[in-house]
Amino acid sequence: MPSSPGLSFGTTRNAEGETVEYDLKEAIGKLMEFLIKDFDVLQEYTPVLIVSVDEAHPLTTTETDVIDGLWSRFSEFRRGLRFIHSYPCFFLFLSTTGKVSQFIPSPENDRSSRVQTQLLGLMSPFCELGFGQLAQKAIEGLTPLDEVASLLFLASIGRPL
């Protein structure tokens, strides 16, 4: 796996005028230590943090920079996330009106040269998932009517809201 290019996290001043240095890797490490007892970055965990970005398609708007050329907030976001891929966190970008190609372009159209040369691959999009992913199952001969008529059961049926 090729290593990620270095990210420069700038320093900025907070509301009190103090200088603050942002380091994504350090921040996520601290969060994982808080969430997982005896966290070890070399161990494998199931995701403990899932961040969902709803209606994410405006992030994909392409802009032009005189030095770096074409870029979008989404491509920068993705690059930042690449930097913390060893940590058990997962980001979901949801869009109801965008195009799949905005998030998952074909490799030759991707902003990243490593994706273009297929050193890195992208995850396939999740689309047309159907409904009832979280539905509890009624079992013939066992499940009572009172259970299926409970709010807990009927909330599990249909699309996850």
Partner 1 sequence: MFAGEKLLCKPFFTSEEFVRKLTDEEKLACISVRIPLEFNSRTLRSQEMEKNLVDKHMRVCLTVDPGFETVITVAPSEPLLAEASYLLMRSPAFDLPRSLLAELEHPGLDKGNRGELIAMTLCLQARDAASTRLQSRITPVRDFIQELLVPSAHDRVLRSKPVRARNSEEAEKTLEDTFRDSNIYFNHFVKIRDRRVISRQFLWGLIARGAAALCADFQYGIDIVIPYLFWDRILRRQNVSAFLIQVKNDETFKESPQEYLFDMMNPYRIEFFDKNESHPVPLIRMLFALASENSSIAVLGCPERTQPVREGAAKARFQADRYTSFDIWCAKASKETFRPIENDAVFDKLLLRSRLFPNVYEAKKSEGLQNATRSMNPATDIHPAHWDRFV
Tell me how far CA of residue 105 lies from CA of 56, 94, 120, 155, in angstroms: 15, 15, 13, 35
User: What is the amino acid identity at position 58?
Assistant: P
Interface with partner 1 in residues 109-148 (CB under 8 A) = 131, 138-146, 148
92 near partner 1, rule: CB under 8 A: no
Residue with Cβ nearer partner 1 (1 or 161): 161
**Least distance to partner 1 from the beta carbon of 78, Å?**
28
- Contacts with partner 1 by CB under 8 A: the residue count is 19
- Taking a C-beta distance cutoff of 8 angstroms, is the pair 53, 94 a contact? yes
Instruction: Report, in angstroms and rounded to the nearest whole number, the Rg of the chain calculated over CA atoms.
Output: 21
100 near partner 1, rule: CB under 8 A: no
54 near partner 1, rule: CB under 8 A: no
Helix (H) or strand (E) holding 19: strand 19-21
Residues near 23 by Cβ (< 8 Å), separated by ≥ 6? 9
151 near partner 1, rule: CB under 8 A: yes
Residue with Cβ nearer partner 1 (20 or 155): 155
- Interaction site with partner 1 (CB under 8 A): 131, 138-146, 148-149, 151, 154-155, 157-159, 161
